[in-house]
Structure 1
Amino acid sequence: MASDPSAGNRPPLKVLLCAPRGFCAGVDRAVQIVELALERFGAPVYVRHEIVHNKFVVESLKTKGAVFVEELDEIPDGHHDRPVVFSAHGVPKSVPEDARSRNMFYLDATCPLVSKVHKEAEIHFRRGREIVLIGHAGHPEVIGTMGQLPEGAVRLVETVEDARAFEPAGDRPLAWITQTTLSVDDTAQIVEVLTARFPDIVAPHKDDICYATTNRQEAVKAVAPDVEALIVVGAPNSSNSQRLREVAERAGCPVALLVQRAADIPWDALPPLTSLGITAGASAPEVLVEEIIAAFAERYEVTVDSVRTAEETISFNLPRALREAAE
Structure 2
Amino acid sequence: MTKPPLTLYLAAPRGFCAGVDRAIKIVEMALQKWGAPVYVRHEIVHNKFVVDDLRDKGAVFVEELDECPQDRPVIFSAHGVPKSVPAEAQRREMIYVDATCPLVSKVHIEAARHHENGLQMIMIGHEGHPETVGTMGQLPEGEVLLVETVEDVATVEVRDPDTLAFVTQTTLSLDDTADIVAALKARFPNIVGPHKEDICYATTNRQEAVKAMAPKAEAMLVVGAPNSSNSRRLVEVGARAGCQYAQLVQRATDIDWRALEGISTLGITAGASAPEVLINEVIDAFRDRYDVTVEVIETAQENVEFKVPRVLRVPA
Short-chain TM bin: over 0.9
Change (3 A) 1:222 1:230: same
Which of 25, 30, 34 is the equivalent residue of 2:27?
34
Give 3-state SS (helix, strand or coil) of 2:140's partner: coil
Select which of 47, 53, 58 maps to 2:51: 58
Identity of aligned residues (%): 67
SS in 1 for 2:9: strand
Deviation of 1:172 after TM superposition, in Å, equals: 5.2
Instruction: Answer yes or no: is the 8 Å Cα contact 2:79–2:100 preserved in 1.
Output: yes
Deviations along 1:207-241, whole A, 9 cap, x unmatched? 10000000000000000000010000000000000
Which moved further from structure 2: 159-168 or 8-17? Answer: 159-168
Match of 2:41 among 35, 42, 48: 48
User: Which amino acid in 1 is paired with 2:3?
Assistant: R
* Bigger mean CA deviation after superposition, 190-199 or 286-295: 190-199
- For residue 280 of structure 2, the aligned residue among 279, 287, 290 is 290
- Distance in 2 (alpha carbons) for counterparts of 1:113 and 1:33: 16
Kept in 2, the 8 Å contact 1:130–1:172? The answer is no
Q: Does 1:244 align with 2:237?
A: no
Contact 2:68 2:74 (C-alpha < 8 Å) held by counterparts:
no
Residue 81 of structure 1 deviates from its aligned partner by 2.3
> Aligned partners of 1:324 and 1:126: how far apart in 2?
34
Match of 1:3 in 2: none
Aligned to 1:67: 60
Distance 1:212 1:73 in 2: 33
Q: Give the structure 2 partner of residue 272 of structure 1.
A: 262
Q: Is the 8 A contact 2:162 2:190 kept in 1?
A: no
Matches within 5 A, 1:97-112: 97-112=87-102
Between the aligned partners of 1:271 and 1:245, the Cα distance in structure 2 is 19
- Which residue type is aligned with residue 18 of structure 2? A
Please list, as runs of the form range in 1=range in 2, the aligned pairs for 1:145-224 lying within 5 A after superposition.
Answer: 145-170=135-160, 173-224=163-214
Q: Does 1:17 align with 2:10?
A: yes
Q: Which residue in 1 is equivalent to 2:293?
A: 303
Which amino acid is the alignment partner of residue 198 of structure 2?
Answer: D
Letter in 1 for 2:250: Q
Report what 1:88 is aligned to: 78
Q: What amino acid does structure 2 have at the position aligned with 1:294? A: D
Which residue of the other structure, out of 85, 99, 106, is the alignment partner of 1:116? 106
Paired AA for residue 57 in structure 2? K
1:186-216: CA deviation from partner (whole Å, max 9, x where unpaired):
0000001111111111010111000000000
Matching residue's letter, 1:50? E
Q: What is the CA-CA distance between 1:158 and the residue it aligns to?
A: 0.3
* Runs (4+) off by over 3 Å: none
* CA contact 1:224–1:253 (8 Å) conserved in 2: yes
SS in 2 for 1:298: helix
Q: Give ranges in structure 2 of 5+ residues lacking alignment.
A: none
Shift of 1:171: 5.2
Structure 1 residue 295 displacement after superposition: 0.5
Considering only aligned residues, what root-mean-square deviation do their CA atoms show, in Å? 1.0
* 1:59-88: CA deviation from partner (whole Å, max 9, x where unpaired): 000110101011111124xxx222110000
Q: 1:14 to 1:170 in 2, by over 3 A?
A: same
Aligned equivalents of 1:324, 1:280: Cα separation in 2: 34
Counterpart CA distance in 2 for 1:265 and 1:299 is 12
**For 1:263, which of 249, 253, 257 is the aligned residue?**
253
